[in-house]
């Protein structure tokens, strides 16, 4: 038992968007994750923010008194660089008002 470094280069793709963003008649985050699954990416996670703002500086919050209908969301995936690079142009058309970032990561797999 031990950990070994993944032999291929990996990156972390993060997509920042709003809960009310839409693409193709459905929530943009759902359309993006469905595309990632269809393309065979390792996995994706959507995280909902409780407080934040975007490029228009509008604050969005999830409070007990008022639930925002446009909370910030982050879609995150760790994948081989080649797969992410091939997907970014299509993601750019789906995430019009959001932000897409890519950074190098070191992936370890636990073999057991």
Predicted confidence (pLDDT) per residue in 52-107, tens digit:
776 666 665 655 445 556 788 999 999 999 999 999 999 999 998 889 999 999 88
Structure confidence at residue 57 (pLDDT): 61
Which comes out higher in pLDDT, residue 61 or 31?
31
Structural domains in the chain, sorted by start: 10-52+59-101 (3.30.70.120)
d(CA 82, CA 33): 18
Q: Directed axis angle between helix 28-38 and helix 81-94, to 10°? A: 150
Predicted confidence (pLDDT) per residue in 4-26, tens digit:
455 567 999 999 998 889 999 99
Q: What is the pTM of this model?
A: 0.80
Average pLDDT over residues 34-38: 97
């Amino acid at each position: 038992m031990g950990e070994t470094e993944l032999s291929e280069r990996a990156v972390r793709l993060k997509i920042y968007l709003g809960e009310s963003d839409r693409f193709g008649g459905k929530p943009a985050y759902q359309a993006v994750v469905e595309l990632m699954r269809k393309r065979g990416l390792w996995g994706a996670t959507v995280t909902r923010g409780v407080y934040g703002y975007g490029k228009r500086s509008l604050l969005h919050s999830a409070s007990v008194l008022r639930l925002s209908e446009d909370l910030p969301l982050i879609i995150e995936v760790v994948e081989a660089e080649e797969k992410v690079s091939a997907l970014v142009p299509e993601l750019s058309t789906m995430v019009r008002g959001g932000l897409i970032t890519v950074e190098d990561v070191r992936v370890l797999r636990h073999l057991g």
